[in-house]
Amino acid sequence: MLDKLSQIHRRYEEIEMRLGDPGIMNDMKAYRDAMREQRQLKPIDEAYHLYAKLLKDLDGARELIAVADDPAMRDLAEQELADLRAKRERMEEEIRYLLIPADPDDSKNSIIEIRAGTGGEEAALFAGDLYRMYSRYAEMKGWKLELLDFSESEMGGFKEVSFMLSGEDVFGSMKYESGVHRVQRVPETEQQGRVHTSAASVAVLPEVEDVEIDVNPADIQMDTFRSGGKGGQNVNKVETAVRLTHVPSGVVVACQQERSQLQNRERAMKMLRAKLYELERERRDAAYAAQRKGMVGSGDRSEKIRTYNFPQNRLTDHRLEGESKNYSLREVIEGELDPVITALKVADRAEKLRSGATV
Q: Would you say residue 282 has pLDDT above 80?
A: no
Q: State how beta strands 179-185 and 304-309 pair.
A: parallel
CB neighbours (10 Å) of residue 88? 16
pLDDT in the model for residue 179: 93
pLDDT confidence of residue 347: 87
- Confidence band, pLDDT 50/70/90 cuts, at residue 231: very low
pTM, rounded to two decimals: 0.70
Highest mean pLDDT among 93-97, 119-123, 188-192, 278-282: 119-123
- Could you tell me the pLDDT band of residue 233, with boundaries at 50, 70 and 90? very low
Comparing CA positions, the residue from 130, 114, 182, 126 lying closest to residue 155 is 126
The pLDDT of residue 226 is: 76
Check residue 191 and give its pLDDT.
64
Q: Is the pLDDT of residue 235 over 50?
A: no
Alpha carbons within 13 A on the beta-carbon side of 242: 23
Q: Find how far residue 49's CA is from the centre of its chain.
A: 29
Q: Name the band, by pLDDT with cuts 50, 70 and 90, for residue 113.
A: very high
Write down the pLDDT at residue 229: 54
Q: Where residue 19 falls among pLDDT bands split at 50, 70, 90?
A: very high
Cβ 340 vs Cβ 328: under 8 Å = no
Select the more confidently predicted residue: 13 or 193: 13
| Burial class (CB within 10 angstroms; exposed 0-12, middle 13-18, buried 19+) of 259 | middle
- 3-state SS, residue 231: coil
Closest CA to 223 of 248, 196, 210, 241: 241
Fold of 211-283: Double Stranded RNA Binding Domain (3.30.160)
What does the pLDDT read at residue 4? 86
Please name the amino acid found at residue 128.
Answer: G
Mean local confidence (pLDDT), 122-147: 96
Question: pLDDT tens across 292-325, in order?
Answer: 444 444 444 567 999 999 999 999 999 998 877 9
Instruction: Give the number of residues written for the chain.
Output: 359
pLDDT tens digits, 148-173: 888 998 888 999 999 999 998 899 99
- 2-98 folds as Methane Monooxygenase Hydroxylase; Chain G, domain 1 (1.20.58)
Report yes or no: 274 and 206 within 8 Å, Cβ to Cβ.
yes
Helix (H, G, I), strand (E, B) or coil at 147: strand
Residue 63 reports pLDDT greater than 90: yes
pLDDT band with cut points at 50, 70 and 90 for residue 246: very high
What is the pLDDT, as a whole number, of residue 51?
95
Residue 189 has pLDDT above 70, yes or no: no
Domain 110-207+285-355 has CATH 3.55.40.20: no
pLDDT at residue 91, as a whole number: 92
Domain extents for the chain?
2-98, 110-207+285-355, 211-283
Average pLDDT estimate for 241-259: 88
Kindly give the pairing relationship between strand 251-255 and strand 158-166: unpaired
Strand partners, 182: 199, 307
The mean pLDDT of the chain is: 86
Which tens digit of pLDDT belongs to each residue from 36-53? 889 889 999 999 999 999
pLDDT classification of 238: cutoffs 50, 70, 90: low
